[in-house]
């Protein structure tokens, strides 16, 4: 069928063509079916949408990106014909039926995903079916490798052994990577750390470190930084290590599911060439992993998968029943981390966690008591000197001081109404407050705890502060803080806790960070 | 956040708001999240899309239908705030986890579906999870009733007992309903038949009957027709009996799955007030149901569900290894049906099937040998006189003759290359040829068989004709006919069949008709 192109002022990540209902009927295609569009020698396959008024019979509505790709001469009619669904759809349907997919089938699905050939509905059916039916270890392996192969790789050359760490996330205030990387690099190991930005949490490591140094580096820039300093802390999203992962996340996020956890993490670690990897698995009531049985189960999967991919993995279960350190929010956490590195002093839990994880990596490299060595590197200032090198190599100011990191100018104090001790801190509520205050978009927004679990509290003491960049955000978070009992104060000897008020706002809270 | 409305020339069935990426970040919403948009006292919740160029910071791109619903004053800024996901999403996630949903949860999902509150991704997760996990009978019942309650009902009043029939589809040329309705109505029973249009087949009953009389009737018009004649053959889509079904079909179609078969059929039958129902289940190699065990399983489900809904159901397994009658395609089938009703003569399989199904309905009404009675009504001309009444009541010309139904002017004959007998006819390939020839959009397109299974064939005999309205469509179908062996001719005594050529065009063929 010959149709006249009608440019539509729209952006989409997939090629979409809008047909008038009558023409779609004539062509025998349905919404979310496909058409092949030819213009001279150029051609493209697009997913079909229908319209009744916007696109008239005889026209084909095309989004920006198709117009650009075809470099269309709008005066010439386009030859539009029905196109079959990609073969990978048949494999997706096999997974829907509960079959185990082969390597070739998984490769095809990932390839069609990254080349935007699958519609959101088809991708959702795939993601949902992986979630519903689970995956065998061989499927996880094949998916990890397919996702890795679909993206860029960081090849440092020179036969360097690459060390890496990853946290599956879920604990607010977790700025461990910022401490670990300089320690490990100061010990002479190579650790090219790529980190995520926040998706559903108040801050990702990339958001945090961006308050200290630029993190949007290209692959070439990263190579230079790592060759020079042994380490880096950069945003993984800028280097396209696993583009399939980004596309799956778009589907997972609105459904708050994460069947891709293992392939997502491991495809990226393979892409940076990691040989040794420590996985941090925060374990606690409000974390992704709540029991030691679940921890062992997940740890075993990471270790087994790593073995098949040529990566030696250790997993660490870490305490997750309160935020790590005192600061939650990009800038406020960056301050806390920078201060710790400068002085060697800071929150005990943060120091212990960073030393533990750095210690595992150091012991991989043959150092007997890795944790003690890590603590020494931190306390002696060697880690701070390494941090300065990394900051400078990434294009930042190595002389940056904690006070140079700007916090939100709006501030509220949340006061205790009782005497007692802190019996519980809700990670979930603290994260909600920090987000309501504007984090992560507002770098200066967040929550600064004054107390942690077990601390004594007097009526009138400040429990925590909320920082915001805008008055209305502060007000929103402050109101919530008065409704949600983010920090619970009770008598040490009493088993009667305060009754948690049910305000009916149990929105499913979900941290999807990789 | 205050944003300026920017009208986007787009149609969507759901309210969609396009935010600039920066504003979305600032608001803390992600694509497919939700925002509440307020304009004075009017407000609406929309699903979020992001843009980088089309919609600038400070703007909010709105589709046609939102603009109309809010009757916006474009000069006034809109108050836009993040909105939580609808509660039904939590229930969808419960189904994803394999839980059994309660009545209240199913009601909420269906309600939010028909009020366009769920995104395609969320609906796909629901449909896929129903497919993956299956449903209990109580879930099927609750879903059927929720879908029925979400739509219109046909209340004929006067305490009439309503009879109905339904075929789960899958066999080309199935014009049975057009024969059954006049027979049953001529016997004095009430049968308000609503039918579908073709979704993936060459013709639906509504497409066929539309070549004889108008089928787009309103509920009020249908009531009048049925009160006057006892029967009707109308398009169900015009009367909104199960709007949820239409929305689920949009998701099911691109995935070629049909977990909603039972609730879809039964919600509509309940909506027309059916008390007695016969379900036709075509059974054969290329049909949805291939074995008698599968038939009994599905039949049992329809019967059990019917009992719970107050509908007495019988199921009939019918032969499905070749098209029914000789004609496939809207007009050509209408001719065949009209001729049969006028003369009482026609294809033996079609007569037998129609008499069987009408017979079950007549026996529900207490007539002992329903099938013989049905045959008598057909042969005596009583059914034809009833058909004339129905045509006239629906606004058609009761004097219409088969030759008045226009067929496509383009015609090709497919000739046998061998002597022998017809050993196999592929429903799938015949349907593909009819669709390639232009059916159902081109009413006059289709296939006319000259031979059926077991018929003797001489080399050079016409096996079937292809009709089309357009030359290029005819050519396409004719070329396919030479590639696909839609009708296989072999020696009666030989077990060596022709080798079916594998042309690599095994597109998954799927008939979704309700």
Spell out the domains of chain A, with CATH numbers in brackets.
2-83 (2.40.40.20), 88-134 (1.20.970.10), 162-398 (3.40.1030.10), 406-490 (3.90.1170.30)
* Strand partners of residue B8: B63
Q: Which residue has the higher pLDDT, A4 or A499?
A: A4
Residue-level pLDDT at B67: 77
Task: Tell me the pLDDT tens digit for each residue of A243-254.
Answer: 999 899 889 988
Q: Which of B132, B246, B468 to mutate to test the interface with A (most CBs of A within 10 A)?
A: B132
At residue A503 the predicted structure's pLDDT band, cuts being 50, 70 and 90, is very low
Average pLDDT over residues B224-238: 95
Nearest chain B residue to A201 by CA: give it.
Answer: B28
Q: Note the residue count of chain B.
A: 514
Q: A128 is written with which tokens?
A: 């949902």
Least reliable range by pLDDT among B414-428, B464-478, B490-504: B490-504
Task: Tell me the pLDDT tens digit for each residue of A179-233.
Answer: 999 999 999 999 999 999 988 899 999 999 999 999 999 999 999 999 999 999 9
Q: Percent of chain A, pLDDT > 70?
A: 96
Average pLDDT over residues A495-501: 48
pLDDT at B507 over 90: no
Cβ-based contacts of A30 with chain B (< 8 Å):
199, 253-254
Residue-level pLDDT at A28: 85
Residue-level pLDDT at B68: 77
pLDDT at A104 over 80: yes
Q: Percent of chain A, pLDDT > 90?
A: 78
pLDDT at A88 over 90: yes
Q: Chain A closest CA to B164's CA: distance in Å?
A: 29
Smallest Cβ–Cβ distance between B133 and the set A9, A132, A508 belongs to A132
* Contacts for A294-301: CB closer than 8 Å, 24+ residues apart: A298/A168, A301/A137, A301/A140, A301/A262
Q: Percent of chain B, pLDDT > 90?
A: 78
Q: Which residues contact A315 (CB under 8 A, 6 or more apart)?
A: A278, A279, A280, A281, A295, A298, A299, A302, A303
Give the span between the Cα atoms of B477 and B54, in whole angstroms. Answer: 43
Q: Chain A closest CA to B505's CA: distance in Å?
A: 9
Residue-level pLDDT at B89: 95
Q: Which of B86, B255, B476 to mutate to test the interface with A (most CBs of A within 10 A)?
A: B255
Least reliable range by pLDDT among A275-279, A340-344, B62-66: B62-66
Cβ-based contacts of A131 with chain B (< 8 Å):
96
| Contact state of A254 with B120 under an 8 Å Cβ cutoff | no
Total beta-carbon pairs less than 8 A apart between chain A and chain B: 121
| Contact state of A52 with B90 under an 8 Å Cβ cutoff | no
Residue among A267, A372, A250 at smallest CA distance from A311: A267
pLDDT at B70 over 80: no
Q: Chain B closest CA to A319's CA: distance in Å?
A: 27
Q: B359 is written with which tokens?
A: 């017979």
| Contact state of B124 with A129 under an 8 Å Cβ cutoff | no
Residue-level pLDDT at A511: 58
* Residue B167: C-alpha distances to residues A419, B172, B224, B299 (Å): 73, 12, 25, 12
B385-411 per-residue burial string, b: 16 or more CB within 10 A, e: under 16: ebbbbbbbbbebeeebebeebebbebe
Decide: A163 and A275 in contact? Cβ < 8 Å.
Answer: yes
* Paired sense of beta strands A312-319 and A456-457, if any: unpaired
Nearest chain A residue to B34 by CA: give it.
Answer: A254
Residue-level pLDDT at A500: 45
Give the span between the Cα atoms of A192 and A221, in whole angstroms. Answer: 12
Residue among B171, B170, B106, B164 at smallest CA distance from B139: B106
Residue-level pLDDT at B505: 41
Average pLDDT over residues A435-446: 95
Task: Tell me the pLDDT tens digit for each residue of A330-345.
Answer: 999 999 999 999 999 9
Give the span between the Cα atoms of B349 and B340, in whole angstroms. Answer: 12
Task: Tell me the pLDDT tens digit for each residue of A32-52.
Answer: 899 999 888 888 899 999 998
A268-303 per-residue burial string, b: 16 or more CB within 10 A, e: under 16: bbbbbbbbbbbbbbbbbebbbbeeeeebeebbebbb
Average pLDDT over residues B299-308: 97
Residue-level pLDDT at B514: 56
Q: Chain B closest CA to A415's CA: distance in Å?
A: 27
Cis peptide before B440 (omega within 30 of 0): yes
Average pLDDT over residues B478-491: 91
Residue-level pLDDT at A513: 59
Task: Tell me the pLDDT tens digit for each residue of A359-379.
Answer: 999 999 999 999 999 999 999
Task: State the catalytic residue, choosing from B23, B164, B174, B258.
Answer: B258
| Contact state of A10 with B54 under an 8 Å Cβ cutoff | yes
Q: Where are the alpha helices (DSSP H) in B241-369?
A: 243-255, 261-271, 292-309, 330-343, 348-364
* Strand partners of residue B448: B327, B465
**What's phi and psi for A285, nearest 5 deg?**
-55, -40
> How would you classify residue B346: left for phi > 0, otherwise alpha for psi between -120 and 50, otherwise beta?
left
Give the span between the Cα atoms of A142 and A128, in whole angstroms. Answer: 18
pLDDT at B257 over 80: yes
Q: Chain B closest CA to A290's CA: distance in Å?
A: 18
Q: Note the residue count of chain A.
A: 514
* Residue B65: C-alpha distances to residues A107, A172, B139 (Å): 40, 41, 34
Tell me whether 0.90 is exceeded by the ipTM.
Answer: no
Residue-level pLDDT at A378: 98
Q: Which of B125, B440, B510 to mutate to test the interface with A (most CBs of A within 10 A)?
A: B125
pLDDT at B100 over 70: yes
pLDDT at B498 over 50: no
Q: B160 is written with which tokens?
A: 């009439």
Least reliable range by pLDDT among A350-354, B248-252, B468-472: B248-252
| Contact state of A25 with B119 under an 8 Å Cβ cutoff | no
Average pLDDT over residues B120-137: 95
Q: Percent of chain B, pLDDT > 70?
A: 96
Task: Tell me the pLDDT tens digit for each residue of A287-322.
Answer: 889 999 999 999 999 999 999 999 999 999 999 999
Q: Which residue has the higher pLDDT, A88 or B9?
A: A88
Least reliable range by pLDDT among A501-505, B161-165, B167-171, B282-286: A501-505
Average pLDDT over residues A150-172: 92
Q: Where are the alpha helices (DSSP H) in B134-260?
A: 137-149, 176-186, 205-209, 219-229, 243-255
Q: Which residue has the higher pLDDT, B492 or A483?
A: A483
| Contact state of B121 with A122 under an 8 Å Cβ cutoff | no
């Amino acid at each position: 069928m010959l149709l006249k192109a009608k440019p539509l002022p729209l952006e989409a990540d997939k090629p979409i063509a809008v047909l008038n209902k009558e023409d779609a009927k004539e062509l025998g295609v349905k919404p979310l079916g496909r058409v092949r569009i030819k213009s001279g020698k150029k051609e493209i396959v697009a997913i079909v949408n229908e319209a009744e008024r916007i696109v008239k019979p005889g026209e084909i509505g095309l989004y920006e990106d198709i117009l650009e790709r075809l470099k269309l001469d709008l005066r010439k009619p386009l030859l539009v014909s029905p196109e079959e669904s990609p073969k990978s759809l048949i494999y997706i349907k096999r997974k829907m039926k509960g079959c185990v997919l082969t390597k070739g089938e998984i490769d095809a699905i990932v390839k069609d995903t990254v080349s935007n050939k699958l519609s959101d509905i088809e991708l959702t059916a795939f993601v949902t079916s992986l979630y519903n039916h689970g995956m065998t270890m061989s499927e996880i392996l094949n998916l990890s490798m397919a996702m890795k192969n679909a993206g860029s790789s960081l090849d440092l050359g020179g036969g360097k052994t690459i060390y890496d760490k990853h946290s599956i996330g879920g604990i607010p205030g977790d700025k461990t990577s910022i401490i670990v990387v300089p320690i490990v690099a100061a010990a002479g190991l190579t650790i090219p750390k790529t980190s995520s930005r926040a998706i559903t949490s108040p801050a990702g490591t990339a958001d945090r470190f961006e308050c200290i140094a630029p993190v949007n580096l290209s692959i070439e820039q990263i190579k230079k930084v790592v060759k020079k300093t042994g380490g880096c802390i950069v945003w993984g999203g800028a280097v396209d290590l696993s583009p399939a992962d980004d596309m799956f996340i778009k589907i997972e996020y609105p459904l708050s599911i994460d069947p891709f956890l293992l392939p997502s993490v491991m495809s990226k670690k393979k892409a940076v060439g990691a040989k040794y990897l420590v996985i941090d698995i925060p374990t606690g009531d409000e974390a992704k992993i709540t029991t030691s049985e679940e921890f062992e189960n997940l740890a075993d999967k990471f270790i087994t998968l790593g073995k098949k991919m040529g990566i030696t993995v250790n997993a660490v279960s870490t305490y997750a029943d309160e935020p790590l350190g005192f600061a939650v929010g990009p800038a406020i956490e960056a301050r806390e981390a920078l201060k710790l590195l400068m002085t060697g002093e800071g929150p005990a839990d943060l120091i212990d966690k960073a030393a533990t994880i750095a210690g595992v990596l150091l012991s991989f490299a043959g150092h007997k008591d890795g944790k003690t060595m890590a603590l020494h590197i931190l306390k002696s200032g060697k880690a701070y000197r390494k941090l300065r090198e990394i900051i400078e190599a990434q294009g930042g100011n190595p002389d940056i001081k904690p006070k140079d990191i700007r916090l939100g100018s709006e501030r509220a104090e949340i006061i205790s109404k009782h005497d007692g001790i802190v019996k519980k801190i809700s990670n979930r509520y603290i994260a909600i407050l920090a987000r309501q205050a504007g984090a992560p978009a507002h770098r200066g927004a967040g929550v600064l705890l004054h107390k942690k679990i077990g601390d004594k509290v007097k009526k009138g003491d400040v429990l925590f502060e909320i920082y915001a960049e805008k008055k209305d955000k502060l007000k929103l978070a402050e109101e919530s803080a008065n409704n949600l009992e983010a920090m619970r104060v009770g008598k040490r000897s009493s088993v009667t806790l305060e009754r948690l008020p049910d305000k009916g706002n149990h929105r499913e809270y979900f941290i999807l960070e990789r």
